[in-house]
Structure 1
Amino acid sequence: MTGLESMAVFAAGIVAGTVNAAVGSGTLIAFPVLLAVGYPPVTANVTCTLGLVSGAFSGAYGYRRELAGQRSRLIRLGAASVLGGVTGGVLLLLLPAEAFAAVVPALIVLAGALVLVQPKLAARLAHRRRIAVHGGVLLWLGIYGVGVYGGYFGAAQGVLAIALMGLALDDDLQRLNAARNVLSLLVNLVAASLFLVIADVAWLPSVLLAAGSLLGGVLGARLGRRLPPMVLRGFLVAVGLAAIPLLVLD
């Protein structure tokens, strides 16, 4: 990479880490940048997963006050996230790269749609919460499915997770967002551990993303309660859609 490209990747890490901690979907920032500087889709996805783990740590730490009293919930749902992340990571490595390039544009469109409809979805979910503590078997299976998706391609896994928790759990949205940060961290961590051993990683951009996202996670945890949502959502969707031609032309 050139010096300018390295700066762009570092900046993408900061923005992605901030977005991940605040609302999720930071991969929609980092992934297109890696495609734009010339990395193939699977390598870009693996590198994003590794690079954004540090930001997931700092984001979860930033929400530590809201995590109080959620230990048993996080142990239960965290097991589903870990198993799902391993499953998704294995699928990414076993399926051909052509399959990933074919599927990801649809996943990006889905992620963008989820980012846009999240406010209305959250408003509806506020009236449909049923189960107070763990959410039952259906929530566990749903979080496992989110983990599979996140281990395969991480964009908007947090949006999916918080939507499912909002359906099943009677709790404050900020506490659910804090739990979502931890669950996303677990998915990324187990997938990254798998990729670290047997996948093709672009190490320089991974380090740059890690440094940027570590800072971004701290910022995102602070901004998450007062972020202007519609501007951010529009930006995320625009960046995600811009990645689709890069995938098609790769």
Structure 2
Amino acid sequence: MSIWEMAAVLFAGVWAGAINTVVGSGTLVTFPVLLATGVPPVTATVSNALGLVPGTLSGALGYRAELTGQRRRVLRLSAVALIGGLAGAILLLVLPPTAFETVVPVLVGLALVLVVLQPRIAELVKRQRAQRGAEAAGREAGPALITGILLASVYGGYFTAAQGIMYLSLMGMLLDDTMQRLNAVKTVISTVVNSVAAAFFLFAAHFDWTAVALIAAGSTIGGQLGAKIGRRLPPTALRAVILVVGIAAIVQLLLR
């Protein structure tokens, strides 16, 4: 990588760390940047998963206050996420690279659709919560949520983009709690998925150490920024950035 490419990857890591903490979909920033520097798609995905672990951990630490009293919930969902994340990581390496290059534009497109629909999903969750009222208070993870988290984690282990939005949507519809507390849980289980996938990739996959180091450094800074000031950033601006880089990723993949 040239010095300018390294700077771009570092900056993308900062953005991704902040976006992952606030909303999710940080991969839609780092992934196209890695492709633009010439990193092959599967290697870019593996390097990105490794690099984002410190960022998601940083974001989780930034939400310590919101995690208070949620130990049981976090442990149950994290156990499910670990299994799903490992399964997704195995699929990434077992399936041929051509399969990944074929399906990733579809996955990126799905992630962009989720980003666009996120405000409507949040409004739907809010209405459903109001309709449930006090009867839903204290409800914990049931079979529907466990299954949803498992499938979202398989997706996250395979390709991490927008897994955070999936988690928030599922928990928002099936649990009765504030979005900030659910966002804290989302950050923890995203960390679990990224960590188990990264641990597997360390021993079983090829990755770019320079990319990993730059994304790790940037995402660690971004995770703290997202936890501290992310709530003040206009959601529309965040979604606009994600959409632009996501479309760029699709174009790059289709033109390869």
The alpha carbon displacement at 1:101 in A equals 0.6
Q: Does 1:175 align with 2:162?
A: no
Contact 1:151/1:191 (<8 A) preserved = yes
* Paired position in structure 2 for 1:86: 86
Identity level (%): 53
Q: Deviations over 1:90-131 (max 9, x none)?
A: 000100001111101011111011011111111111222465
TM-score, reference length from structure 1: 0.98
* Paired position in structure 2 for 1:160: 166
* Paired position in structure 2 for 1:117: 117
Matches within 5 A, 1:18-57: 18-57=18-57
Q: Look up the equivalent residue of 2:43 and give its one-letter code.
A: T
Q: Does 1:213 align with 2:226?
A: no
What is the alpha-carbon distance in structure 1 between the residues aligned to residue 190 and residue 41 of structure 2? Answer: 21
Contact 1:22/1:224 (<8 A) preserved = yes
SS at the partner of 1:66? helix
What is the alpha-carbon distance in structure 2 between the residues aligned to residue 10 and residue 224 of structure 1? Answer: 19
What is the alpha-carbon distance in structure 1 between the residues aligned to residue 215 and residue 241 of structure 2? Answer: 19
SS at the partner of 1:171? coil
Contact 1:23/1:224 (<8 A) preserved = no
Q: Does 1:5 align with 2:5?
A: yes
Q: Look up the equivalent residue of 1:197 and give its one-letter code.
A: F
What is the alpha-carbon distance in structure 2 between the residues aligned to residue 12 and residue 67 of structure 1? Answer: 27
Contact 1:19/1:25 (<8 A) preserved = yes
What is the alpha-carbon distance in structure 1 between the residues aligned to residue 152 and residue 192 of structure 2? Answer: 12
TM-score, reference length from structure 2: 0.96
Q: Does 1:241 align with 2:241?
A: no
Q: Deviations over 1:181-201 (max 9, x none)?
A: 001000000000000111011
What is the alpha-carbon distance in structure 2 between the residues aligned to residue 73 and residue 3 of structure 1? Answer: 44
The alpha carbon displacement at 1:227 in A equals 1.9
Q: Look up the equivalent residue of 1:2 and give its one-letter code.
A: S
The alpha carbon displacement at 1:247 in A equals 1.2
What is the alpha-carbon distance in structure 1 between the residues aligned to residue 233 and residue 79 of structure 2? Answer: 30
Structure number with the higher helix fraction is 2
What is the RMSD computed on CA atoms of the aligned residues? 1.0
Q: Deviations over 1:161-212 (max 9, x none)?
A: 0000001000001000000000100000000000011101100110011001
- Which of 192, 216, 224 does residue 186 from structure 1 map onto? 192
The alpha carbon displacement at 1:231 in A equals 1.3
Q: Deviations over 1:187-244 (max 9, x none)?
A: 0000000001110110011001100110000001112322200111011011101011
* Paired position in structure 2 for 1:69: 69
What is the alpha-carbon distance in structure 2 between the residues aligned to residue 235 and residue 182 of structure 1? Answer: 24
